[in-house]
Amino acid sequence: MDDSDLVNRLLDAGVTMDEVLPESPSILMTLLLSYVVPIVIFIFIGRWLSKKMMSSMGGGPGGAMSFGKSNAKVYVKSSTGIKFSDVAGEDEAKDLLTEIVDYLHNPQKYTEIGASMPKGALLVGPPGTGKTLLAKAVAGEAEVPFFSISGSEFVEMFVGMGAAKVRDLFKQANEKAPCIVFIDEIDTIGKKRDGAGFTGGNDEREQTLNQLLTEMDGFDGSKGVVILAATNRPDSLDPALLRPGRFDRRIPVELPDLQGREDILKVHAKKIKIADTVRFDDIAKAAAGASGAELANIVNEAALRAVRDGRKFATQADFEESIEVVIAGYQKKNRVLSNKEKLIVSYHEIGHALVAAKQTESAPVHKITIIPRTSGALGYTMQVDDNEHYLMSKEELENKIATFTGGRAAEELIFHSVTTGASNDIEQATKIARAMISRYGMSDDFDMVAMESVSNQYLGGDSSLACSFETQTLLDKKVVELVKRQHEKALQILQDNISKLHELAKYLYEHETITGDEFMKILEAPEETPAAATEE
Ligand SMILES: Nc1ncnc2c1ncn2[C@@H]1O[C@H](COP(=O)(O)OP(=O)(O)OP(=O)(O)O)[C@@H](O)[C@H]1O
Ligand SMILES: [Zn+2]
């Protein structure tokens, strides 16, 4: 814009020149107006522009101006100020990340004995479960800089730009080490490479991924650059990313259970004013299936509602209303278990756990949950073996089969029907049974084993092709018999412990997740009143 232009415009607008220019400007004033002010304005505009450019690179796929050499600089935050205490629940994830924090605090403790820290860890879980928040908390706890970039920002229009960005990011991270580099949505660059159906930009994406792999292999692990990446589609990742020395640690970040939801609500409610009468446990119950992000949203929505109604604080009703708003859309998109389904899944999982616990030589139950998993499972029972062993006895394998069938057995016993939820279990049980009979020679019938192994030698080990039709049929029959026997054993165990089955399933239904300790405590407690033992 030039001066005469401005003057003309001002005149057009009916402004007289007298108002624009002082009557008799001193030389100093003239100087100021004609040189200093334009320069100041120029600098100001320049700054504003560059700020704008940076923020446009911060979110969404890079804009037209997002190439250039030192992009990653803008992602540095010297301290996130976020601590683990800001992340409610997710204790498992926090436990796993604590080691990284400790390493960043005193690396010599690790390097002294020659231990090197994992270079990368993969945070895996559904959207909004706090993966980004956890990564920030790691940086906050360790008091190190935090670089953050989203996978989609690497995907550039021009071949080679993404790779350049990766190089640049690592260069800066190395300069700022120790630090945390966080790559969100890593699946956008880290998708399996062979995958058909990927159209366009293949070269670019592949180059970017290769650069990432090269950088990860190249940097010195003892410098203290830890790369955290997040994804909700771990299965789609290129296996190269998951190799040792890369993202070889997987940290599950799952949807919160009842207690977790209550804690998250409380963390966020600290930021708003609420009535004393608000009952977070009830709100958490009503918000079944909600993620951390959705719960944060519910709290905010409740506060907005209060303001709209001219109140000074949010009430129980505000929260209940906002659950409807936030969750309603969500429930349509995602399958949330109905109460009946929840009950079935509870009995199913306790079925597994109870059968496991009542057999000797069976790994102790570690955790049981009916929170749907990223994997698509409706619930799971986790057993952890204290001492890892590779040689399993026939009894142990049989017990494993019985444990797998325990879920279905519980459904049959209580609901007199089975759901599709048990199909994977039966598959697993059958797999073990087949291996026992054909490969490990655990069949009573030695001929069976011999035949199988002879034909395997001819045909390279694929047992489904290896046998003659008769052998296959015989084998199948044996497998089915074995699974059936174990299934009957499981039914018997549950029948014998029916009151505990009810009690534990009820407890799991209410709490959604229970630990192995809680499970054992209930199991070992004296029986409840006989009334609970009657079947419904
Ligand atoms: N466990 C939690 N405790 C407290 N707040 C949480 C928790 N989980 C999520 N939130 C809230 O939800 C917001 C969004 O979470 P965040 O961005 O970390 O999720 P994400 O898993 O990275 O999601 P996405 O996969 O969509 O990137 C957080 O900023 C926080 O306010
Ligand atoms: Zn099961």
Angle between helices 423-434 and 394-415 (to 10 degrees): 160
374 is in an annotated binding site: no
pLDDT of residue 37: 58
More confident site: 96 or 31: 96
Over the chain, what is the mean pLDDT? Answer: 77
What is the position in ligand 1's atom list of the atom closest to the CA of 134? 18
What is the domain class of 71-252 according to CATH?
A: alpha beta
Q: Tell whether ligand 1 has an atom less than 6 A from the beta carbon of residue 142.
A: no
pLDDT for the residue 471: 77
**Residue owning the nearest CA to atom 4 of ligand 1:** 87
The alpha carbon of 378 and the centre of ligand 1 are apart by a number of angstroms equal to 22
CA of 379 to the centre of ligand 2 (A): 7
- Among protein residues, the one with the nearest Cα to ligand 1's atom 6 is 292
Quick: pLDDT tens for 204-228. Answer: 778 888 888 998 888 777 788 899 9
Q: What would the mean pLDDT of 141-161 be, rounded to a whole number?
A: 81
529 is in an annotated binding site: no
Residue 11 pLDDT more than 50?
no
Q: Is the CB of 184 under 6 A from ligand 1?
A: yes
Task: Tell me the average pLDDT across 330-337.
Answer: 55
Active site includes 349?
yes
pLDDT of residue 157: 60
**Contact yes or no for 17/11 (Cβ under 8 A):** yes
**Ligand 1 site, residue 7, Cβ cutoff 6 A:** no
- pLDDT value of residue 509: 93
Mean pLDDT of 231-241: 88
- pLDDT at site 98: 92
Name which of 300, 289, 449 is nearest 372 in CA terms.
289
What tens digit of pLDDT does each residue of 384-422 get? Answer: 655 545 567 888 889 989 999 999 999 999 998 877 777
Tell me the per-residue pLDDT of 58-90, one tens digit each, with 9 for 90 and over: 333 333 333 344 444 445 556 678 999 999 988
Q: Is omega for the bond preceding 234 within 30 degrees of 0, making it cis?
A: no
CATH 1.20.58.760 assigned to 339-533: yes
Catalytic, out of 349, 398, 412, 512: 349
Q: Which segments within 36-172 are labelled E, that is strand?
A: 120-124, 146-150
Among candidates 178, 179, 177, 247, which has minimal Cα distance to 212?
247
Q: Is the pLDDT of residue 247 over 60?
A: yes
Establish whether residue 255 lines the binding site of ligand 1, counting it when its CB lies within 6 angstroms of any ligand atom. Answer: no
Q: Which of 132, 342, 144, 350 is nearest to 253 (CA)?
A: 132
- Give me ligand 2 centre to Cα 323, in Å: 31
Whether the predicted pLDDT of 24 surpasses 70: no
Q: CB within 8 A of 337, min separation 6: which ones?
A: 288, 289, 345, 370, 372, 378
> Model pTM?
0.61
Segment 233-246 mean pLDDT: 87
Least confident range of 280-294, 295-309, 443-457: 443-457
Q: Any known ligand binding at 268?
A: no
- Where does the pLDDT of residue 423 fall: very low under 50, low under 70, confident under 90, or very high at 90 and above? confident
Is 487 annotated in some ligand binding site?
A: no
Q: What's the CATH number for 258-333?
A: 1.10.8.60
Cα 425 to ligand 2 centre (Å):
5
Nearest ligand, CA 135: 1
- Two structure tokens written together for 415: 């609901």
CB 372 within 8 A of CB 318: no
What average pLDDT does the segment 331-337 reach?
Answer: 55
Say whether pLDDT at 492 is over 60: yes
